[in-house]
Structure 1
Amino acid sequence: MDTRIPDKLYFRIGEVAELTGIKPHVLRYWESEFKSFKPVKSRSNQRLYRRKDVELVFRLKDLLYEQGYTIAGARKKLKERQPSGKKAVEQLALPLTGAREKVLLRQIHSELSVLRDRLKSPLES
């Protein structure tokens, strides 16, 4: 767990920019370049980044700025790290502790609420 990231479910773009040192326009650009980097959007169309998104920003910052990868090279490097097949399923099947399970359930509930709000929004217009 990255100790640079506060224990929150969602972060706004300004918070992510402050935490990572990456300007908001660069974050928006990276969204267009990396398929795995897609924050959810609130009803007011604000980007809401999850912890995994912030962790990815730190990873991209390292790959692009510290290690000197190009966007294409960073994309390839990220694909190498993604678990696939049986190994990925085994990672998902790890037992959860009571505390970890509660955190996970809260995150799922929060994400479902955001999705529900997004689904309601067009109907109310």
Structure 2
Amino acid sequence: MALSQIAFDFFDDSPQQPLQEKKKAVAKKKEPKVVVESVVIPRPKVKSTRGRKSIEEMNAGVELVNVPDDEELFSKMYYSIGKVADMFKVNQSLIRLWENEFDILKPKKNGKGDRLFRPEDIKNIQLIYHLMREKKYTMQGAKDFIKQNKKAEEKFAAIDALKKMKGFLLELKANL
């Protein structure tokens, strides 16, 4: 069996010719060569997933918060940080940041160092989430609000009850 050598010509020093002329020139040569042309295809602009969310994205995320009712919430003694982050649709790192910044959050830690949040802690996270994401307070503004308003949790509970009632009434109106 006879061996033949195949050469690949990736760097063509000849001046730019139309593609059809290059194909004819390649077809006429006795040695098989592969001609590769570089074609620039513009990439579609993909929005980065890094950085801060826009206000519209943050507002859309507010409706996605899935904190269970008090009966169901208080049925368990502790919740892991993963479960809490899933309830609020945020990263676990944000929950850890809020834990470091706000004095009202004091989750228990087990021997491994895992954070275990009580239902009271989840209610406090719900208050912080409301201040930071819905009311658009800064970190310092939210801290000051909690310090100055000792009854902030009660006010938040009233606001939460009114939101639930509004949702019920809107659902009732839609069904009519």
Q: Shared fold (TM-score greater than 0.5)?
A: yes
Q: Which has the higher helix share?
A: 1
1:56 aligned partner: 124
Q: Distance in 2 between matches of 1:33 and 1:45?
A: 18
Deviation at residue 37 of structure 1 after TM alignment: 1.0
Q: Distance in 2 between matches of 1:28 and 1:17?
A: 10
The sequence identity of aligned pairs, in percent, is 30
In the alignment, residue 54 of structure 1 is paired with which amino acid?
Answer: I
Q: Which runs of 5+ in 1 are unaligned?
A: 84-125
1:73 aligned partner: 141
* Deviation readout 1:41-73 (Å, 9 max, x if unpaired): 011211000111111111111100110100111
TM-score, L = length of structure 2 = 0.43
In the alignment, residue 149 of structure 2 is paired with which amino acid?
Answer: R
Q: Distance in 1 between matches of 2:145 and 2:90?
A: 20
Deviation at residue 21 of structure 1 after TM alignment: 1.7
Deviation at residue 81 of structure 1 after TM alignment: 3.0
In the alignment, residue 41 of structure 1 is paired with which amino acid?
Answer: K
1:46 aligned partner: 114
SS of the residue 1:48 aligns to: strand
Q: In the comparison of the two structures, how many residue pairs are matched?
A: 82
SS of the residue 1:82 aligns to: coil
2:94 aligned partner: 26
Q: Which runs of 5+ in 2 are unaligned?
A: 1-67, 152-176
Larger Rg: 2
TM-score, L = length of structure 1 = 0.60
1:108 aligned partner: none
- Which structure has more relative contact order (CA 8 Å, sep 6+)? It is 1
2:78 aligned partner: 10
Q: Distance in 2 between matches of 1:80 and 1:51?
A: 23
